Amino acid sequence: MAFPANFKWGTATASYQIEGAASQDGKGPSTWDMMCRKENAIFNNDTGDTTCDHYNRYEEDVEIMKQMSMQAYRFSICWSRVLPQGTGKVNEAGLDFYSRLVDKLLEDGIEPWVTLFHWDYPYHLYTRGGWLNPKSPEWFAEYTEIIVDKLSDRVSNWMTLNEPYCFLWLGHKTGNHAPGDKLGLEQVLLATHNALKSHGMAVKTIREKAKKQPNIGFAPVGKSFYPQTNSQEDIKAAYEMTYSFDSPDLWNSTWINDAVFKGCYPQDGLRVFGKSVPKFTDEDFKIISEPLDFFGFNFYRAPAVRMGDDGPEILSPKAGDPLTHFNWPLSPEGLEWAAKFHHERYKLPLVVTENGMANCDWVLSDGTVRDYQRIDYLKRYITALHRAIEAGADIRGYFVWTTMDNFEWAEGFSKRFGLVHVDYQTQKRTPKLSAWWYKKVAQTNGLHALEDGLD
């Protein structure tokens, strides 16, 4: 049996990773532009100054998506391309780029799914405190209204924030990602609280200002676990571990998600974070928990667990287990159970907003890129997702990360996630074998992944 009717098959990207044109047509700097100027902060000191040059080549890229029979495309908007100072005067050239992109997508029969923030925070707002500034939710709402006013006559699908864990914890606590800060826990939790309020104010703005009926979600990522067996004991262990809160950091599935979907911080998180939690009010959570239409989630990996004599036990990987080029384990069962658990806990339709793998790809001497490992990866994960649907999870779409190879944040250009190979020196695009395989998946509403091989 194929996937549900109207299931969306698509691919996803992020603005800083593909657009390039770092200062073209009035774009202002972002924290990632700043991060790339720090010596040795990025692999090989790579930058996103040009990356895939999508800003100038978007028509070619959308044509490739059309050839791939993509039904939907998830992309993000660069805040500082639209508002170079983060607030105030609009850069019409930057705003028009996204309008042209939406028009091109619709012309080619591809549904746009817009993410408002995928990590590239305006540098000029960062100098004013960034997410630590109590005005940051107002800044984000102002930006959101500009985008909604421009695009909502043609765009229905919206996401507010992508992976708050990454831009808040990795960006403000460990310093691995932009802006590269290493703040105290109290400051990180304050930034998180303001980012969550920003999310809520954006949802409210979209709901009130959209010209077409909006479909709104966001795209978090968090820890997941899957049961070693289908025994009730192991399933209970996996559920408990997925939503447990046992260390004072944001790598969990409840601090952000419970705030958004349940209107409160989890009690065990309040206990673990203790006095570092910022002051908050009931009104804050009314804003943060503005109703959403779907639960978007990004998924890549998860360990197995079992219920031991003393509680849940995480199983260690075995020698020789498959690993992606990022050294992430192959764990399709994790996607199946993450979908089941999120459906059970948050009771909203689900969309897999990212799933994919880094692979050691290059163009072969015959001009092709035969990435069979990626095809096998996608086949396994899509099949696992189908099992979750058969078990009752309401899943509406699946977006492969990513459309094309691009700037992989702190890893620079050393990791390739794309269905399309990009030669960064010549900007030549070469669809990989996986692009044509995924085309058949979209055309058959998933049957090609469930029934056929790797051709």
Q: Which residues are annotated as a binding site for substrate?
A: 17, 118, 162, 300, 401, 408-409
Inter-residue contact 78 to 15 (CB < 8 Å): yes
Name the residue with tokens 């507010």.
160
Given 163, 290, 333, 336, which residue is catalytic? 163
Angle CA 307–312–317, to nearest 5: 95
Annotation says 283 is catalytic: no
Closest CA to 205 of 167, 164, 158: 158
Q: Which residues are annotated as a binding site?
A: 17, 118, 162, 300, 401, 408-409
Given 208, 313, 354, 390, which residue is catalytic? 354
**Bridge partners of 298?**
354
Annotation says 354 is catalytic: yes
Pairing of strands 429-431, 420-422: antiparallel
What is the distance between the alpha carbons of residues 193 and 285, in angstroms, rounded to a whole number? 10
CB atoms within 10 A of CB 246: 10
Residues 6+ apart with CB under 8 A from 163: 119, 219, 220, 221, 298
Inter-residue contact 163 to 219 (CB < 8 Å): yes
Q: What are phi and psi of 83, to 5 degrees?
A: -125, 90
First-to-final CA distance of the chain: 20
Query: Which residues are known to be catalytic?
Result: 163, 354
